[in-house]
Copies of this chain bind each other. A is one copy, B any other.
Amino acid sequence: MERRYFDYAATTPVDPGVLEEMLPYFKDSFGNPSSIYSYGREAKKAVEEARSKIANLIGADSKEIFFTAGGSEADNWAIKGIAMKLKDKGNHIITSKIEHHAVLHVCQYLEKHGFEVTYLPVDENGFINLKDLKNSITNKTILISIMFANNEIGTIQPVKEIGEIAKEHNIYFHTDAVQALGNTKINVNDMNIDLMSMSSHKIYGPKGVGALYIKKGVKIDPFIHGGAQERRKRAGTENVPGIVGFGKAAEIASNSLEEHIKRTVKLRDKLITGILENIDYVRLNGDPIKRLPGNVNVSIEFVEGEALLLNLDMIGVSASSGSACTSGSLDPSHVLLAIGLPHEIAHGSLRLTIGRYTKEKDIDYVIEELPKIVDKLRAMSPLYEKVKGGDK
């Protein structure tokens, strides 16, 4: 069975060019970059080249890039690192209700330890309200952490405007750009971003590596203490092959950004239109325009997400859902609830995310097959009966 991957937002395959660049650093140039002998110097050089490629993708200086083990560590570091550093200045953090758990759970943890957190609501398309943001700032506010683009519904926030507000009030602005990186133009300086989380495996680089952008001058505690790596800010022997791979992935992303966006948006819009036209009782979640190029998120009424996913998997299509049943928790996705979906509709959500290797025929295939699966599941849904009977 041919496999059709529609979960690029969860993770991406490593680009062949990326893997090729990584390979020498496993066995041949395996030295520890902190060493002074030649083995180590080679590794060090490779790490620094990767750093400048990532800096280049986001308009930063190399010295502002600090490697981590992924997006989650970057989020944890940014928020806990600022919180611990500035706790004598203030204990208030502003974030949104639709952040990734790597931000939300950190904030909840800090709440247990004396911090206060404002979770800004979002409108039905997933945008925070800039007036809300301004109104929630107090003289205790030390950090604003608002994600660049949402991983579930794809909505892209007005980052530049948020950055301006933060700057006016002299508050640090962190943004989780794990989904945005490589999918939309980012310039940390133009956008007044002080800290930004990135993850390699979302941009065709290897898993287990990411980075935190820390603007020059920003005061932050280290998160992983120990050796003097990463200019004494992040300890641990550098994951050289991983970093090299992330660097190469960033380089490819820089070189093909516009083309990638154009191509992906076209496929995405075809998929959205195809689904909306061929299935009844379905709605698109997230903003139709200001959304990630590869994100399609729909709620299909009267069916449950996990059942949808498994049926798709049986025909080779990998997708994702915000249903509670797929998460092992009792509640469906906090993001779908935050944009106002009732629980039962959130359960029927389906996320199809596309990327570099998605072909037009894959899109056609889903447009053709999804309605059949929905029909089959609705035929056994006690909720659908009523609609058919006209007494909804």
The interface of chain A, by Cβ under 8 A from chain B, is: 3, 5, 7, 10-14, 16, 19, 26-28, 30-32, 34-40, 68-73, 75-76, 84, 100-103, 105-106, 108-109, 113, 199, 201, 206-209, 221-228, 235-242, 306, 309-310, 312-313, 317-320, 326-329
CB distance from A141 to the nearest CB of B (A): 21
Q: Do A39 and B236 touch across chains, with their CB atoms under 8 A apart?
A: no
Q: Do A225 and B76 touch across chains, with their CB atoms under 8 A apart?
A: yes
Could you pull out 5 A-B pairs where Cβ atoms are within 8 angstroms?
A7-B31, A10-B40, A14-B30, A109-B222, A208-B238
- A239 (CB) vs chain B CBs: closest residue: B208
Q: How far is the CA of A108 from the CA of B206 in the complex (A)?
A: 34
Q: Do B328 and A228 touch across chains, with their CB atoms under 8 A apart?
A: yes
Q: Do B309 and A226 touch across chains, with their CB atoms under 8 A apart?
A: no
Output the residue of A11, A68, A221 with the most chain B CB within 10 A: A11
Take A102-B235, A225-B109, A236-B72 as given contacts and tell me if A30 and B10 are in contact as well, using a CB distance cutoff of 8 Å.
no
Q: Do A72 and B27 touch across chains, with their CB atoms under 8 A apart?
A: no
CB distance from A330 to the nearest CB of B (A): 13
Q: Do A241 and B13 touch across chains, with their CB atoms under 8 A apart?
A: no
Give the top 7 A-B pairs by smallest Cβ distance, nearest first: A208-B239, A102-B226, A69-B69, A72-B236, A105-B225, A37-B313, A14-B26
Take A35-B10, A310-B36 as given contacts and tell me if A224 and B76 are in contact as well, using a CB distance cutoff of 8 Å.
yes
* A72 touches which of B16, B70, B226 (Cβ 8 Å): B226
Chain B residue numbers with a CB within 8 Å of A320 are 35
Q: Do A73 and B224 touch across chains, with their CB atoms under 8 A apart?
A: yes
Q: Do A237 and B35 touch across chains, with their CB atoms under 8 A apart?
A: no
Take A225-B109, A236-B71 as given contacts and tell me if A35 and B19 are in contact as well, using a CB distance cutoff of 8 Å.
no
Q: Do A227 and B72 touch across chains, with their CB atoms under 8 A apart?
A: yes
Q: How far is the CA of A36 from the CA of B12 in the complex (A)?
A: 16
CB distance from A233 to the nearest CB of B (A): 12
Q: How far is the CA of A5 from the CA of B30 in the complex (A)?
A: 11
Chain B residue numbers with a CB within 8 Å of A30 are 11-14
Q: Do B3 and A239 touch across chains, with their CB atoms under 8 A apart?
A: no
Chain B residue numbers with a CB within 8 Å of A11 are 30-32, 237
Q: How far is the CA of A72 from the CA of B306 in the complex (A)?
A: 38
Other than the known A71-B237, A101-B227, A109-B222, what 4 A-B pairs have Cβ atoms closer than 8 Å? A10-B34, A69-B69, A100-B226, A208-B242
* A207 touches which of B37, B73, B237 (Cβ 8 Å): B237
Q: How far is the CA of A310 from the CA of B237 in the complex (A)?
A: 21
Q: Do B26 and A13 touch across chains, with their CB atoms under 8 A apart?
A: yes
Q: Do A36 and B306 touch across chains, with their CB atoms under 8 A apart?
A: yes
Q: Do A224 and B26 touch across chains, with their CB atoms under 8 A apart?
A: no
- A80 (CB) vs chain B CBs: closest residue: B225
Q: How far is the CA of A225 from the CA of B12 in the complex (A)?
A: 22
- A108 (CB) vs chain B CBs: closest residue: B225
Q: Do A26 and B19 touch across chains, with their CB atoms under 8 A apart?
A: yes
Q: Do A19 and B27 touch across chains, with their CB atoms under 8 A apart?
A: yes
